Structure 1
């Protein structure tokens, strides 16, 4: 009796498709859990403090470093290593709150922008 060579391949294909579906469902659940966890942490931080950080480097790291680089050297956003020689503290505050060019508004609260502006205006 001759075996049909297609049947083992069909079984493997069906098992593979089912495995992909199961792994995708697990991944979607994990993605949602991770997103929810991030929201919970932000809420916990806000409720514990109730106020903004007064550490300009911490504010910069959480709000600005992704575009301007952790060392202020730039990236998607411009280099800020000597921003104080180009802009006054008030101008920096205005840019942090209202945005400019490709930088969107609202990247920092008024209080955070005040702390950042003072710190960045000293970079000359």
Structure 2
């Protein structure tokens, strides 16, 4: 019985890793963001100041494949109101380290300037 439990844990871990690998492959992107739907354009117009336009461009390439075109969620949770749950330092930590026990990997953004722009923008989303 104990051997079966260990096997199931290994199988579950392998499944999660495979899902994560597929998600990461989908998160990688070309240099050009895809055309934005109307809802996303509304979010972009709200993303002013504090590098909001830059933050949206960065998120287009790295975040929307999991968190949705307009940050309303998808494979990953919605980020529309993440600033109400996490402060900027907490958002930076998640971007850098990921979230253990979830599909959110750390290190998708490895440029401190990009991390700062995205974290500042997301912290304002309340």
**TM band (smaller chain):** 0.5 to 0.7
Q: Which runs of 5+ in 1 are unaligned?
A: 1-40, 43-53
- Deviation per residue, 1:73-104 (Å, 9 max, x gap): 00000010100000000100110111112211
Asked if residue 64 in structure 1 is aligned to residue 66 in structure 2, the reply is no
Q: Secondary structure at the match of 2:66?
A: helix
Whole-angstrom CA distance in 2 between matches of 1:93 and 1:78: 16
Q: Tell me what 1:118 maps to.
A: 120
- Match for residue 108 of structure 2? 107
Highest CA radius of gyration, 1 or 2? 1
Greater RCO between the two (CA within 8 Å, min separation 6)? Answer: 2
Does the residue aligned with 2:78 lie in a helix, a strand or coil?
A: coil
In structure 2, how many angstroms separate the alpha carbons of the residues matched to 1:67 and 1:79? Answer: 9
What RMSD over aligned residues (CA atoms) do the two structures have, in Å?
1.9
What CA distance in whole angstroms lies between the structure 2 residues aligned with 1:89 and 1:105?
Answer: 16
Q: TM-score normalised to the size of structure 2? A: 0.55
- Distance in 1, matches of 2:106 and 2:95, equals 7
Cα separation, 2, equivalents of 1:111 and 1:76: 26
**TM-aligned CA deviation for residue 111 of structure 1:** 2.1
**Which secondary structure does the structure 2 equivalent of 1:113 belong to?**
helix
- Which moved further from structure 2: 107-116 or 68-77? 107-116
Distance 2:79 2:57 in 1: 16
Give the TM-score taking structure 1 as reference length: 0.55
Q: Which stretches in structure 2 are left out of the alignment for 5+ residues?
A: 1-29, 32-52
Give the secondary-structure state (helix, strand or coil) at the position aligned to 2:91: helix
Give the 3-state SS of the residue equivalent to 1:118 in structure 2.
Answer: helix
Give the alignment of 1:1-124 within 5 angstroms.
55-100=54-99, 101-109=102-110, 110-124=112-126
